[in-house]
Amino acid sequence: MNPRSRSRAAALLTIGQLSEAAGVATSTVRYYERRGLVRPVQRSRANYRLYSADQVQRLRFIRAAQASGFQLDDVRELLRPAPCSRVQDLIERRLRRVDEQLRQLRHVRRVLRESFFECREHEPTGRCAVIDGLSARTR
């Protein structure tokens, strides 16, 4: 192997090395690969996936975007070169989804709080009014 090939091979990472450097599980790397977010640059003679060092930053970007509330389809858009206006549109769409989820969660919270207090109120009777009410809905 010539020195150039050796240095290029040294720059390549196995999936384990990549996952460790990026702080994610190997199963996460494989999942992102299936979703088309990361790709090995080649396979070794033993057919191992080999990744370039820049994939570490890509994985970190994906995780940071997810932690900021973006879904993987959003992340795919963010990974493409885009003008700020397209990124803003993406953020606005995501904000609308988050607002809807918050509305739904507030409703669930209200129902759970009411059920909790109703359950406490009927506890001395030995019958759970919440279970009775849910059972009546399934009939």
Greatest extent of the chain over all pairs of C-alpha atoms, in Å: 84
User: For 23-77, how does the pLDDT look when each residue is reduced to its tens digit (9 = 90+)?
Assistant: 999 999 999 999 999 999 999 999 999 999 999 999 999 999 999 989 999 999 8
Q: What are phi and psi of 49, to 5 degrees?
A: -70, 135
β-bridge partners, 13: 51
Strands ordered across the beta sheet of 13-14: 13-14, 49-51, 42-43
Report the C-alpha gap between 15 and 29 in whole angstroms: 7
Q: Predicted confidence band at 6 (pLDDT cuts at 50, 70, 90)?
A: very low
Quick one: how far is CA 1 from the chain centroid?
Answer: 40
Would you give the DSSP letter of residue 123? G
User: For 99-137, how does the pLDDT look when each residue is reduced to its tens digit (9 = 90+)?
Assistant: 999 999 999 999 899 888 888 888 888 778 788 777 777
* CA distances in angstroms from 55 to 16, 37, 120, listed in the order given: 13, 10, 54
Q: Is 24 helix (H, G, I), strand (E, B) or coil?
A: coil
pLDDT at 3 over 70: no
User: For 78-90, how does the pLDDT look when each residue is reduced to its tens digit (9 = 90+)?
Assistant: 998 878 998 999 9
Model-wide pTM > 0.75 = no
The pLDDT value recorded for residue 139 is 64
The pLDDT value recorded for residue 26 is 96
The pLDDT value recorded for residue 53 is 92
